[in-house]
Amino acid sequence: MHIAIIGAGVSGLLTALELVERGCTVTLFDQQQTGSAASWAGGGILSPMYPWRYPQEVNALARYGKQGYLKWNEKLKPVTGIDFEIHETGMLIFDEDDFEIGLDYAHQHLDPMQQAEYLQHEQIEQVNSLVSPQLQHAIYFPQLANVRNPRLLQSLKSYLQQHPNVIIHEHCPVTDLNTQQQRLVAIRTADGQQHFADQYVLATGAWSAKWSEQLEIEIPVQPVQGQMLLFKTPKDWLSTMCMNKVMYLIPRQDGHIVCGSSMRQCGFDTQTTNVTLEHIQQACFEMVPELAKFPIIKSWAGLRPSSPEGIPYIGQMPQFDNLWANFGHFRNGLCMGPASAQLLAELIMGQTPSFNAEDYSPQRLYEDAIALYK
């Protein structure tokens, strides 16, 4: 089976990986460089931030992120020579209003990865000696990890480029979906070329709404900008991830510290602003004051694919026999990525799905449209 995937971020790349492992031939198209949009720009935390604030449909996929990337890293690293750098740091959360629900979450939802313990400052110092003395208590999640997403994307791309059943077209925007009755018969790229496949996948992230007119169905996915800062400290300087008031610090193994993140609706603008970056910086210094001694070496902004409630659309597109979706992951595309791709590959191949496919079905798009006109 030949499958064309439009979009080569983490969702498209992981979908391609699942499908080639099942014996398919895959052609990937991306309007930019592979993995250069939201997938590259995020922090790489392998858990939703405050999972109790998200629908269970999100957490049902996200809880498999860490084990999914451990599995793929073991398979891909010998081929690509690139380590995902999955860093098992644990996380300290300082938001007092979340302590009670956070401490109960793992038991209530049978999710051992979210096991948490309450720490007072003396105990916090033993876990992370750099935390501000102003923060007198926290909840600590020792199982949580982060993945170095740029390296993850490099490894995925390298592996697929070497695979005999994969073709990747970068800087090759898809402009038209050629439909006849209930099938997609071809796609057209900006250079005027037509490309044919048996099945087609939309993994176009924040740009997914562009297909609404051609498919005659409203796709409620919009870009939401997030800005980030990168510090450089000595290796293994910060021992845990830290989070407070939706701001986070994520240590990499080599001493880089990723700090974020903001939320701003400004279309497809990826310009950073001094006001927002200063806000992120100040929030991080409040958690770890000594970070102020080290240089900021980079700042950037990415575009998250927001969707109602952050529940992605995964599965067969309504009214089409051979068009599939894997988009709308909002803030959790990276940690939902392995399970999302596995689910979609199972559905395309007619296999028994590992997750409740109805929870993510793009049929919701059609049903929502009908409801609007009632």
Measured distance CA(305)–CA(226) in Å, rounded: 11
Domain with CATH 3.30.9.10 in the chain: 91-143+223-306
Local confidence band at 369 (pLDDT 50, 70, 90 cut-offs): low
Q: Are strands 91-93 and 137-141 parallel, antiparallel or unpaired?
A: antiparallel
Listed residue (88, 137, 101) closest to 252, CA to CA: 88
Q: Which residue has the tokens 């798009």?
A: 365
Reply yes or no on whether the pLDDT at 367 is more than 70.
Answer: yes
The helix/strand/coil state of 305 is strand
Instruction: State mean pLDDT over 28-54.
Output: 92
- Residue limits of CATH 3.50.50.60 in the chain: 2-52+150-221+308-373
pTM for the structure as a whole: 0.95
pLDDT tens by residue, 206-263: 999 999 999 999 999 999 999 999 999 999 999 999 999 999 999 999 999 999 989 9
Q: Is the pLDDT assigned to residue 19 strictly greater than 90?
A: yes
- Indicate the fold that domain 91-143+223-306 takes in CATH: D-Amino Acid Oxidase; Chain A, domain 2 (3.30.9)
Compute the average pLDDT of residues 349-373. 83
* pLDDT tens digits, 145-159: 999 999 999 999 999
Output the average pLDDT for the chain: 95
State percent of the chain over pLDDT 70.
98
The correct answer on CATH 2.60.40.10 for the domain covering 2-52+150-221+308-373 is no
Give me the percent of the chain exceeding a pLDDT of 90: 93
Q: pLDDT of 285-337, one tens digit each?
A: 999 999 999 999 999 999 999 999 999 999 999 999 999 999 999 999 999 99
Contact 147, 44 (CB under 8 A): yes
Number of separate helices (H) and strands (E) present in the chain = 11, 17
